[in-house]
Amino acid sequence: DVLRQHTTYGGGLTGDEPHIRFFWQTLKGFTDEQRRRFVRFVWAQERLPTTDDGWGNTRFLIKNKTAPDGADVDKVFPRADTCFFNLSLPRYSSLRVMQERLTVC
């Protein structure tokens, strides 16, 4: 997957963490329209570049989003910085929660 090849992780995250695996599983299960909406949410673009040359120096950054004190992390929504192509992603407890939150955003 081209997006995964151009993804970096911030704040000590790795691709092996459960919520990151949930994230990739969720994206893999998305329809084309859901993927387009996701790209619009995180980057304000209609689609991703299709070649490595098209990406240039652009990379997608996933970083951790913490819940406010006392809040249930499963109730927190992800946050995107479209100018920087960053996604602040909570550490959701399950694939189901990840699917629900990413479908809404």
Catalytic residues: 83
Task: Specify the 3-state DSSP secondary structure of 15.
Answer: coil
Q: List, as one string, the DSSP characters of 36-71.
A: HHHHHHHHS-SS--SSHHHHTT--EEEEE-PPPTT-
Beta strands 60-64; 86-89: pairing state: parallel
